[in-house]
Structure 1
Amino acid sequence: MTECFSNDQYNRQLQNKINTLKTLFSDFVLPELKVYSSPVSHYRMRAEFRIWHNGEDLYHIMYDKKTKKRVRIDSFPIATKLINQAMQAVLPLLQYNESLRHLLFQIDYFSTLSGQLLITLLYHKKLDENWIAQARLLKQQLADQGINVNLVGRSSNQKISIDVDYVDEVLPVLDKTFQYRQVENSFTQPNAAVNIKMLEWAISVTKGSSGDLLEFYCGNGNFSVALAQNFRKVLATEIAKASVYSAQHNIAVNQIDNLVIARLSAEEFTCAIKKEREFNRLKGIDLDSYQCQTVLVDPPRGGLDQGTINNLKNYATIIYISCNPYTLKENLQQLTVTHEIKHLAMFDQFPYTDHIEMGVVLKKK
């Protein structure tokens, strides 16, 4: 186990990713690839485990992707130390608590660098008042062990929060500190140490920018909150309600006065900016008052739709954050007709996997 998470093992897998990218993008004229590595262990802020019931015994499992066989997990070195501490404490407390144990099939752990922890218990049963009472008892029992946690219970069409359903992260980024509310079951960057490097990179490549910033897929405002300092105004869009609410909180708590969030998809915003359709969700936002010369996109693995690609070509600067280099390559084949690549970065969000996160800055020719 120690060898699996050694510096040598990590450096080998990181070099393999670098080689993969250089081969994949060999058809493009590229600047120097900047590589941002991860901590070797305890870097993942979230972890999800199935729960295996074996008589009176109870333990975490994961399924091997290749063999599909279940693997017992007693410790999880890629997850934060706080998650590992909670894993050791939770199961003994659940083991002999019939209300909390019965039909429990999964536990999700969600931690922060700021020391906050949220645990979600997932069930194949309806949760009742007795479950709530026992969940409150569990929270107190964990607190007695020095683990302060908020709990959420989930079952089909049911969600119960014991106090709150979020954690508040605090990230030191260059000379500033940013606070981010991160809601249970909503997207957040999984590797906080690498996320800090992503934000620092994005701030550095947009220093001295003129005009305003438009961001698609802004999530909880991870990039837009940090980048607002480099622009006159920022307009960000996100379709998921929970993420929009988090983003609005994050704007307020960080005292950002030049950033507005609109609950729109990238496709809907494209229609709005072309005045093809009006949206009530844009009420109070004067699109004509924005002089967006820079656009940032952080799309899902499927990449950008054709309408958004066509829209991006109108901007002087494109910042593309990608979680899939293969769809990124497809999109760049179109974007490099009008733009050239000025900055290229790799962020190792997921060590010991084939997953690669990238950042690209393109400038209009």
Structure 2
Amino acid sequence: MNKVKIERLDDFGRGIGYINDKVTFISGAIPGEEVECEIIKESKKYNEAKLFKIIKESDKRIISKCKYYKECGGCHLQHLSYEDSIEFKKNKLKNIFNKNKISINDIDIIKNNFNYNYRNKIELKVKDGKIGFYENKSHNIVSIDECIVAKKCINSIITALKKCDLEKANITIRANYNEEILLIVDTNDKFNYENLIKNNKIVGIILNDKLIYGEDYFTEVINDLYFKVSYNSFFQINEYICSKLFEIIDSNIDNNSNVLDLYCGVGTLSLVASKKANKVYGIEIVENAILNAITNAKINKRDNLYFMCGDVPKLIDKIDDNIDIIIVDPPRAGLDKKTIDTIIKNNPKKIIYVSCDPQTLVRDLKILEEYYDIKKATALDMFSYTYHCESITILERR
């Protein structure tokens, strides 16, 4: 065992200390604490260690409300108060900007109104009949009865699933604003779902990508906008923070502007922009998502939306209108070089960059900063009690 004094947190919420002058990362440790730990991974530059005992405890440490927190790999910051977890995320974003020499004024952060029972989607594993999440840094299953960051209606399904006699499966549970449930199951086992459908909140069950009950979609409502969401389409997991994201985007859309929404998914941000814009073009590579987007435009009676399915750089060249504003909401990998080059070539007045990964965000901003000024960056606590940090950055052409 090693005794270590924790000096600070890294970007993943791990405590940082030193063993024989080598940086050591310890999950669950807090700055100011002295802990006993055991090295579980050693490399030339750093160690990873497992926390065994807290010798001197920080006054910032709290007892997690989750009974599975010490084993489960889902959340990372439940040993901190909500306010301290928010401060961690704000500082994380600020530090990443500063390290990359990206000039920015103070970063605001929008807090979650419900930091528990907020997630509208969870992904469960079933192994040897145990239903739950992966253990931290392991493929062992932590069997659970509930997930306290998931909506309560989702937790009721977890309880019911335990009676379905599954031995091995991957399960996704999705819920909407009205607590309707889509259940997606991948398994080679016989799936006895008859008792599940007695729960009238289940509107659809998809087994191995085939619809076996109800519908393969539900409707989500945010800020008076209606969205058809198929079982395999992306949608933000936190409805309240999503509504705040919509408000920021709406406030940055100029009247009668032409807007291009890259990675548009089911058309969420396109619909937000369409309220003020002249035309909105949405591009998405997933065909099912584009079909949802077209339906969503009709549901919301917006006739200034145009959706295209395919590769972003190729399809942008097919748009004849001059683009005033480009919205990007890429996956964690950020923007590829071709897309950035295409954005710069189109020379929009404004770029609205929604990001779920600060590292790839600043990588892309360093290129865009040659042509654009960063006007505002806002962090959003989309994923409470995790180290993940959603953000929205507004850039304006010089």
Q: TM-score range by the shorter chain?
A: 0.7 to 0.9
**Structure 1 stretches of 4+ moved >6 Å:** 3-8
Q: Residue in 1 aligned with 2:262?
A: 216
* 1:215 aligned counterpart, secondary structure: strand
**1:225-244 alignment, distance < 5 Å:** 225-244=271-290
Alpha-carbon contact 2:313-2:342 (below 8 Å) kept: no
What TM-score do you get using the length of structure 1 for normalisation? 0.82
After superposition, the Cα gap between the structure-2 partners of 1:204 and 1:32, relative to the gap in structure 1 and judged at 3 Å, is: farther
* 2:94 aligned counterpart, secondary structure: helix
Q: Residue in 2 aligned with 1:318?
A: 351
Q: Which amino acid aligns with 2:299?
A: V
Count of equivalent residues: 321
After superposition, the Cα gap between the structure-2 partners of 1:187 and 1:300, relative to the gap in structure 1 and judged at 3 Å, is: same
Alpha-carbon contact 1:203-1:226 (below 8 Å) kept: yes
Distance of 1:48 and 1:64 partners within structure 2: 14
Q: Residue in 1 aligned with 2:302?
A: 256
Distance of 1:141 and 1:52 partners within structure 2: 25
Q: Residue in 2 aligned with 1:163?
A: 214
- The answer as to 2:156 corresponding to 1:85 is yes
Q: Residue in 2 aligned with 1:112?
A: 176
Alpha-carbon contact 2:246-2:272 (below 8 Å) kept: yes
- The answer as to 2:140 corresponding to 1:61 is no
Q: Which runs of 5+ in 2 are unaligned?
A: 1-63, 70-76
Q: Residue in 2 aligned with 1:153?
A: 207
Q: Which amino acid aligns with 2:204?
A: N
More strand by share: 2
Q: Residue in 2 aligned with 1:179?
A: 226
Q: Which runs of 5+ in 1 are unaligned?
A: 96-100, 274-286
Quote the offset at 1:188 in angstroms: 1.3
Alpha-carbon contact 1:181-1:220 (below 8 Å) kept: yes
| 1:120-157 C-alpha deviation (Å, 9 max, x unpaired) | 222125x7xxx6xx54x3354223xxx44321111xxx
Quote the offset at 1:344 in angstroms: 1.0
Q: Which amino acid aligns with 1:2?
A: K
Quote the offset at 1:104 in angstroms: 4.5
Q: Residue in 1 aligned with 2:236?
A: 189
Alpha-carbon contact 2:185-2:206 (below 8 Å) kept: yes
Q: Residue in 2 aligned with 1:201?
A: 248
Q: Which amino acid aligns with 1:246?
A: N
Alpha-carbon contact 1:46-1:111 (below 8 Å) kept: yes
After superposition, the Cα gap between the structure-2 partners of 1:322 and 1:344, relative to the gap in structure 1 and judged at 3 Å, is: same
Q: Which of 83, 101, 104 is 1:11 aligned to?
A: 83
Quote the offset at 1:183 in angstroms: 1.0
Q: Residue in 1 aligned with 2:60?
A: none
- The answer as to 2:379 corresponding to 1:346 is yes
Distance of 1:299 and 1:218 partners within structure 2: 9
After superposition, the Cα gap between the structure-2 partners of 1:292 and 1:226, relative to the gap in structure 1 and judged at 3 Å, is: same
Alpha-carbon contact 1:168-1:179 (below 8 Å) kept: yes
Q: Which of 322, 325, 333 is 1:291 aligned to?
A: 322
Q: Residue in 1 aligned with 2:33?
A: none
Q: Which amino acid aligns with 2:262?
A: F
RMSD: 2.1
Distance of 2:322 and 2:180 partners within structure 1: 39
Identity, % of aligned positions: 26
Distance of 2:80 and 2:367 partners within structure 1: 38
Q: Which amino acid aligns with 2:241?
A: V
Quote the offset at 1:11 in angstroms: 1.5
Quote the offset at 1:59 in angstroms: 3.9
Distance of 2:135 and 2:106 partners within structure 1: 36
Quote the offset at 1:266 in angstroms: 1.3
